[in-house]
Amino acid sequence: MKLTGVELRRVHLPLVAPFRTGLGETSVRDALLVRILTPDGEGWGECTAMTEPTYTSEYVDGAHHVLRHHLLPRLLAQPELTAEGVGPALAAVMGHPMAKCALEMGVLDAELRATGVSLADHLGAARDTVEAGVAVGLASSIPELLDTVGRYLDAGYRRVKLKIQPGWDVEPVRAVRERFGDVALHVDANGGYRPGDTQQLRRLDAFALLMIEQPFAADELAAHAELARHLHTPICLDESITSAASAAFAISTGAAAIVNIKAPRVGGYLEARRVHDVCARAGVPVWCGGMLETGLGRAANLALAALPGFTLPGDLSASDRYYRTDITPPFVLRNGYLDVPTRPGLGVDVIGDVVEACTTSVELVGSD
């Protein structure tokens, strides 16, 4: 396949409610979409970098720049391209996995649409529905938190993840346990604790949590392994896992008993499948993380989450948990599950009018 051009498009989508974590607050998703143009048809990808570089070092303006000036020239110079070839074609550029993921996703969509294969089948999906979980941000009070969690449980979500930070941990978890009983519950700290906080984290052992996600900074692998020796609650790593190799190493050191797989964080859906394979061989359960994606990223995440090793519910929620109007037909909950798209490629089409209406900039980069 020869690329004839790539469109970079920024869209602003207001969230139905602000999402607050220890990293900051998001109320509008400033998403960067790529449209891959080929003589055999087009494909869409989504770059999930956030507005600010607070989750990892990537952020949307930086991703836009590296795509425009470093990644697209390399990709467009390829005489022939396959989705498998995207990673190697971009390997000379260090880092920027979310920007790279968007391009590989767009090429996968174009290639699989042209050959009539769904992303789920291509990756090796083992199921056609996926259990839906929901991530709940920091709240301003316990009553407000209980109200939010109650509404999600009423909607059918099968697992709740609470964002925590020092000063907002044991009390909110206790309150949710007391009110909602043995609901599947876990917490995510986005690296907000320090190794000296071990005694405080041990207090969470009283609440039968499924896991505690990323208590310490991304590079604190030894500290996570040490914490695991003092905690009954399993430790899950998110930010620390940047590739299949880093997953294998984290598991071997005892730093990760569970892995959150986000394709954008590891450079694409093909590397995400390799992370899944490494974890499956080690007997480590995985689940699919989210980045407040539009329907494009959600479609791809559902395909990934249908692989056999994804044995825990992910941060995969219905479109209406994020957006009043999504850029694809909305994903809806059915008895707490979401359908895995079955049509070729990502299996979803963007709605032209909606995309146009929320576009803030668009640039077409040609092959010469």
* Active site positions, annotated: 163, 262
| One of 111, 220, 238, 271 touching Mg ion (CB under 5 A) | 238
Q: Which residue has the tokens 């044995």?
A: 311
289 binds ligand OSB (CB under 6 A): yes
Contact status: 190 vs ligand OSB (CB under 6 A): yes
56 binds ligand OSB (CB under 6 A): no
Nearest residue to Mg ion by CB is 238
CB-wise, 11 or 135, nearer to Mg ion? 135
Question: Residue 317's binding partner, choosing from Mg ion, ligand OSB, none, with beta-carbon cut-off 5 to 8 A by kind?
Answer: ligand OSB
By the 10 Å C-beta count (0-12 exposed, 13-18 middle, 19+ buried), 353 is classed as: exposed
Distance CA 58, CA 292 (A): 15
Report which residue's Cβ sits closest to ligand OSB. 290
Site for Mg ion in 175-234 (CB under 5 A): 188
- The listed partner (ligand OSB, Mg ion, none) that binds 220, CB under 5 to 8 Å by sort, is none
Number of C-beta neighbours around residue 167 at 10 A: 11
Angle at 322 between CA 270 and CA 304, to 5 degrees: 20
Site size for Mg ion, by CB under 5 A?
2
Residue 278 backbone phi and psi in degrees, to 5: -60, -45
**Shortest Å, Cβ 238 to Mg ion:** 4
Q: Which of 188, 220, 271, 326 binds ligand OSB (CB under 6 A)?
A: 188
Residues 6+ apart with CB under 8 A from 151: none
294 touches ligand OSB by CB under 6 A? no
Kindly tell me which of 100 and 265 has the beta carbon lying closer to Mg ion: 265
Residues 25 to 54 in contact with ligand OSB, rule: CB under 6 A: 50
Which C-beta is closer to ligand OSB: that of 10 or that of 29?
A: 29
Identity of the residue, 236 or 307, whose beta carbon is nearer to ligand OSB in the bound complex: 236
Residue number, 3 or 338, with CB nearest to ligand OSB = 338
**Tokens 């836009």, residue located:** 64
In the region spanning residues 117 to 146, those forming contacts with ligand OSB, defined by CB under 6 A, are 135
The smaller minimum CB distance to ligand OSB, of residues 341 and 344, is found at: 341
Please state the closest distance from residue 97 (CB atom) to ligand OSB, in A: 14
| 293 near Mg ion, judged by CB under 5 A | no
Alpha helix segments (H runs only) across the chain: 60-66, 72-76, 83-90, 97-115, 119-123, 142-155, 170-180, 198-202, 221-228, 244-253, 263-266, 269-282, 295-305, 352-358
Residues 6+ apart with CB under 8 A from 253: 221, 222, 225
Looking at residue 128, the DSSP 8-state letter turns out to be: S
Choose the one of ligand OSB, Mg ion, none that binds residue 292, judging by a C-beta under 5 to 8 angstroms depending on kind.
ligand OSB
Sign of CA pseudo-dihedral 179, 184, 188, 194? positive
In order, the DSSP letters of 234-285 are PEEESTT--SHHHHHHHHHHTS-SEEEE-HHHHTSHHHHHHHHHHHHHHT--
| Cα 226 to Cα 206: distance, rounded to the nearest angstrom | 19
Interacting residues toward ligand OSB by CB under 6 A: 50, 55, 135, 188, 190, 238, 289-292, 315, 317
Binding site for Mg ion (CB under 5 A): 188, 238
